[in-house]
Structure 1
Amino acid sequence: MYVAGTDVDEAVATCLSVVGVTSAVGVVTHAHGGRVRRHSGAPAGAHTGGLAGGDVPDVVLAPW
């Protein structure tokens, strides 16, 4: 999206929306098929990612 001429904020919001919807559809599809372990690693991964995200410098997150 950023290459298509939109500004960074709009491109990020659009990308996150598309990824979020795609992920939600995938989780629901796999859950209905019985291939999702709901209590295994998701809480630990989300917690670790949240803690690590605060330590990443801004220059790494947005180098432009």
Structure 2
Amino acid sequence: MTQQEWRGTVVKKSRGLLDGANLYRRLHVRLQDGSTMKIRVDRTLWKVLEVGDSVIKRAGADPVKD
């Protein structure tokens, strides 16, 4: 993850075995400027977030529910 800061809204949740061995959990987040980005998150955060929830990422930290 980069050191950038952002805030957005979850528009989609997905997960998959992209390499056949590890389960990856991703969020599609719409940022305040209207663009979207995909981020990989851990199981704990993925389970508590739903579509429509706000997410914030501060520099040097992992994304969290806002």
Normalization by structure 2: what TM-score?
0.19
Q: TM-score normalised to the size of structure 1?
A: 0.20
Rg larger in 1 or in 2?
1
Higher fraction of helix: 1
Of Structure 1 and Structure 2, which has the larger fraction of its residues in strand?
2
Higher relative contact order (CA 8 A, sep 6+): 2
